[in-house]
Structure 1
Amino acid sequence: MADDKQVSLSQLKLVLMITTTVYSFSSMSNAFYLMGYGAIPWYVIAAIVFFIPYTFIVSELSSAYKDQGGGIYSWLKSSQSEKSAFIATFLWYSSYILWMTSVFMKLWIPFSIFMFGQDQTQLQTTVLGLSIRQFIGILAVLAVIIMTKLVNLGFRQVSRMMLLGGTLVLSLFAIALIGNSYLLIHNGGEMAQPLKKGLALVSSPNPNYGGILGNLAFFTFGITAFGGLDTVASMVDQVKNAKRRFPIAILIGTVLIVFNYLVGIMLWGSSVQWEAVLSGDRIHLGNAMYVLMENLGYQVALALGCSGTKATLIANLVLRYTGFALFFTYLGLLSSIIYVPLKSLLRGTPKEYWSPQIRYQNQSGIHVNAMWIQCLFVSGFILLVSFGGKYVHDLYTQLTLMTNISRSIPYFLVAYSFPFFKKNKQDDSAFCVLKTKRSYYWATWSVGSSIVVSIFFTILQPWVKRDYATVFFLMIGPIFFTIMAWLLQKYLSKKQLAFLKR
Structure 2
Amino acid sequence: MENKKKLTLVPLVLMVFTSVFGFNNISKAFYKMGYAAIPWYILSGLTFFILYAFMMAEYGTAFRKEKGGIYSWMEKSVGGKFAFIGTFMWYSSYVIWMVSVATEIWIPLSNLVFGRDITDELSFLGLTSTQILGILAILFVILVTFIASKGLKSVSKVTSVGGTAIALLNVVLLIGAILVFALHGGKLAEPITSVRTFIDSPNPNSNSLINILSFLVFAIFAYGGIEAVGGLVDETEKPEKTFPKGMIISATIIAVGYSLGIFMCGMFLNWNDLSATKGINLANITYIIMNNLGYTIGTSLGLGQATAVSMGAFFARVVGLSMFLAYTGSYFTLIYSPIKQIIEGTPKKLWPEAISKIDDDGIPRNAMWMQCGLVCAFVMLTAFGGDGVSQFFSYIVLMTNVAMTLPYLFIAIAFIGFKKKTEIEKPFVIFKSYRSGVIAAVIVTITVFFANLFTIIDPILQDKPDFKSTLWMIVGPIFFSLVAFIMYSRYEKKIK
TM-score past 0.5 threshold: yes
Aligned equivalent of 2:146: 149
Secondary structure of the corresponding residue to residue 283 of structure 2? coil
Secondary structure of the corresponding residue to residue 100 of structure 1? helix
Secondary structure of the corresponding residue to residue 267 of structure 2? coil
The yes-or-no answer on 1:418 pairing with 2:430 is: no
Task: Tell me the CA shift for residue 88 of structure 1.
Answer: 0.7
The yes-or-no answer on 1:287 pairing with 2:284 is: yes
- Give the Cα separation in 2 of the matches to 1:35 and 1:266: 11
Partner residue of 2:34 out of 17, 23, 36: 36
Aligned equivalent of 2:136: 139
Aligned equivalent of 1:11: 9
Task: Tell me the CA shift for residue 281 of structure 1.
Answer: 6.8
Partner residue of 1:407 out of 404, 407, 421: 404
- Give the Cα separation in 2 of the matches to 1:185 and 1:425: 56
One-letter code of the match for 2:34? G
Distance 1:470 1:379, change over 3 A: same
Q: Deviations over 1:150-196 (max 9, x none)?
A: 00110111111110100001110000000001111211221111222
Secondary structure of the corresponding residue to residue 431 of structure 1? coil
- Give the Cα separation in 2 of the matches to 1:238 and 1:112: 36
Distance 1:452 1:166, change over 3 A: same
Q: Contact 2:159–2:332 at 8 Å: present in 1 too?
A: yes
Aligned equivalent of 1:476: 475
Q: Contact 1:155–1:364 at 8 Å: present in 2 too?
A: no
Task: Tell me the CA shift for residue 284 of structure 1.
Answer: 1.6
Task: Tell me the CA shift for residue 279 of structure 1.
Answer: 3.8
Superposed counterparts of 1:221-232, under 5 Å? 221-232=218-229
Task: Tell me the CA shift for residue 9 of structure 1.
Answer: 3.6
- Give the Cα separation in 1 of the matches to 2:396 and 2:354: 29
Task: Tell me the CA shift for residue 246 of structure 1.
Answer: 0.8
Where does the alignment leave 5 or more consecutive residues of structure 1 unmatched?
498-502
Of 54-63 and 240-249, the range deviating more from structure 2: 240-249
Secondary structure of the corresponding residue to residue 122 of structure 1? helix
Q: Contact 1:353–1:495 at 8 Å: present in 2 too?
A: no
Aligned equivalent of 1:189: 186
Where does the alignment leave 5 or more consecutive residues of structure 2 unmatched?
none
Superposed counterparts of 1:111-190, under 5 Å? 111-123=109-121, 126-190=123-187
Aligned equivalent of 1:500: none
One-letter code of the match for 1:402? M
- Give the Cα separation in 1 of the matches to 2:228 and 2:445: 19
- Give the Cα separation in 2 of the matches to 1:491 and 1:99: 28
Distance 1:126 1:12, change over 3 A: closer
Secondary structure of the corresponding residue to residue 120 of structure 2? coil
Aligned equivalent of 1:308: 305
Aligned equivalent of 1:277: 274
Aligned equivalent of 1:23: 21
Q: Deviations over 1:187-220 (max 9, x none)?
A: 1221111222232211223344232221121110
Secondary structure of the corresponding residue to residue 78 of structure 1? helix
Superposed counterparts of 1:34-433, under 5 Å? 34-123=32-121, 126-279=123-276, 282-428=279-425, 430-433=427-430
Task: Tell me the CA shift for residue 377 of structure 1.
Answer: 0.7
One-letter code of the match for 1:110? P
- Give the Cα separation in 2 of the matches to 1:280 and 1:186: 24
One-letter code of the match for 2:304? S
- Give the Cα separation in 1 of the matches to 2:13 and 2:156: 12
Q: Deviations over 1:443-495 (max 9, x none)?
A: 11110010111012212321111111111111111111111111122223334
- Give the Cα separation in 1 of the matches to 2:402 and 2:74: 19
Q: Contact 1:278–1:288 at 8 Å: present in 2 too?
A: no
Q: Deviations over 1:46-71 (max 9, x none)?
A: 01111111111111000011111111
Distance 1:121 1:326, change over 3 A: same
Distance 1:279 1:207, change over 3 A: farther
Q: Contact 2:395–2:472 at 8 Å: present in 1 too?
A: yes
Identity %: 36
Of 289-298 and 278-287, the range deviating more from structure 2: 278-287
Superposed counterparts of 1:448-463, under 5 Å? 448-463=445-460
Of 7-16 and 409-418, the range deviating more from structure 2: 7-16
TM score, norm. by length of structure 2: 0.96
Secondary structure of the corresponding residue to residue 363 of structure 2? coil
Task: Tell me the CA shift for residue 438 of structure 1.
Answer: 2.8
- Give the Cα separation in 2 of the matches to 1:411 and 1:178: 36
- Give the Cα separation in 2 of the matches to 1:407 and 1:79: 21
Q: Contact 2:70–2:230 at 8 Å: present in 1 too?
A: no
- Give the Cα separation in 1 of the matches to 2:416 and 2:453: 24
Aligned equivalent of 1:464: 461
Of 165-174 and 22-31, the range deviating more from structure 2: 22-31
Secondary structure of the corresponding residue to residue 201 of structure 2? coil
Q: Contact 2:64–2:240 at 8 Å: present in 1 too?
A: yes
Q: Contact 2:20–2:222 at 8 Å: present in 1 too?
A: yes
Q: Deviations over 1:220-277 (max 9, x none)?
A: 0011011111011221111121112111111111111111111100110011111212
- Give the Cα separation in 1 of the matches to 2:480 and 2:67: 23
Task: Tell me the CA shift for residue 429 of structure 1.
Answer: 5.2
- Give the Cα separation in 1 of the matches to 2:6 and 2:364: 21
Of 165-174 and 179-188, the range deviating more from structure 2: 179-188
- Give the Cα separation in 1 of the matches to 2:117 and 2:251: 33
Q: Contact 2:61–2:426 at 8 Å: present in 1 too?
A: no
Q: Contact 1:105–1:136 at 8 Å: present in 2 too?
A: yes
One-letter code of the match for 1:29? S
Q: Contact 2:8–2:236 at 8 Å: present in 1 too?
A: no
Task: Tell me the CA shift for residue 363 of structure 1.
Answer: 4.8
Distance 1:438 1:189, change over 3 A: farther
Of 456-465 and 29-38, the range deviating more from structure 2: 456-465
Q: Contact 1:114–1:322 at 8 Å: present in 2 too?
A: yes
One-letter code of the match for 1:84? F
RMSD value over aligned CA atoms? 1.5
Q: Contact 1:153–1:364 at 8 Å: present in 2 too?
A: no
Q: Contact 2:290–2:319 at 8 Å: present in 1 too?
A: yes
Task: Tell me the CA shift for residue 409 of structure 1.
Answer: 1.6
